[in-house]
Amino acid sequence: MRFLVFLMMVPLAVCAAEVEGVKIDDKTRVANADVTLNGAGLRKRMFFKVYAMGLYVAQKNANAAALIDQPGPKRVSIHMLRDVSADAFNEALAEGIRANHSEAEVKALEPRLKELGSIMGAVGEAKKGMTIYLDWTGAETQVVVNGKPAGKPIAGADFYKALLKVWLGDKPVQDDLKKALLGS
């Protein structure tokens, strides 16, 4: 009987990811909807391990454009592996957005980038061990830090899509991270 119970538990353990010792659940809930881990990977900057990351969506897909445009709730789950200042965190996101958008698109996104910057500024340093979720509720972007909403939600599907392009765009911050998030 114990062996049967063990066998029943094995598929659950196989579905979850582990990145640099961080366990990333295979499913979670965003805005009262179930979302599934599409992929998980490690963000490195030079030789520093910055964060472990998971991407949750309603329907798994290996196509970046399809994931970005997929309707419904989504989550970018960031698990900090080192301390990063709020300014450095915000600048890294802004850099990734600038790399994947025209000047006019970046200008249109700027007020919401400032909103995100204010939220992260209020949080302060992204400390090792901290978990940051960038949730798309289907209507707005909500930043969640260590399980608690931070700041006011940020409007606009275009803004969340711009955030996703930091990791999944034509010029992602890291090619092997994009591949990992796509489940490849």
Please report whether residue 8 resides in a domain.
no
Q: Check residue 47 and give its pLDDT.
A: 86
pLDDT per residue of the chain (184 residues) written in tens, 0 to 9: 444 333 344 444 444 789 999 999 999 999 999 999 999 999 998 889 999 999 999 999 999 999 999 999 999 999 999 999 999 999 999 999 999 999 999 999 999 999 999 999 999 999 999 999 999 999 999 999 999 999 999 999 999 999 999 999 999 999 999 999 999 7
- Distance between CA 16 and CA 24 in Å, rounded? 6
Residue 1 falls inside a structural domain: no
* CATH at residue 152: 3.50.70.10
**What is the number of structural domains in the chain?**
1
Cα→Cα distances 135→4, 9, 154, 164, Å: 37, 29, 10, 11
Give the pLDDT confidence score for residue 12 in this predicted structure. Answer: 42
4 in a structural domain: no
Q: Is residue 34 part of a domain?
A: yes
- The pTM (predicted TM-score) of the whole model is 0.89
- Report CA torsion sign: 57, 59, 65, 69: negative
**In-domain check, residue 5:** no
C-alpha distance across the termini of the chain, in Å: 36
Q: What are phi and psi of 129, to 5 degrees?
A: 95, -15
pLDDT at 46: 86
The pLDDT, as a whole number, for residue 130 is 97
pLDDT at 37: 98
Given this model, what pLDDT does residue 184 score? 75
Q: How far is CA 100 from CA 25, 161, 169, in A?
A: 29, 11, 6
- The residues, ordered by sequence, that sit 6+ positions from 92 with a Cβ below 8 Å of its Cβ are 84, 173
By residue range, what is the domain housing residue 82?
16-181
Q: Is residue 132 part of a domain?
A: yes
Q: Taking the CB of residue 178, how many other CB atoms lie within 10 A of it?
A: 21
Residue 145 lies inside a defined structural domain of this protein: yes
Q: What DSSP character marks residue 84?
A: B
Of residues 77, 92, 80, 93, the one with CA closest to residue 127:
80
Specify the pairing of strand 148-155 against strand 48-57: unpaired
Q: Do the Cβ atoms of 118 and 87 come closer than 8 Å?
A: no
Question: What is the pLDDT at residue 5?
Answer: 38
Q: Contacts from 63-66 at CB under 8 Å and sequence distance 24+?
A: 63/182, 64/168, 64/169, 64/178, 64/182
In a domain, 6, yes or no: no
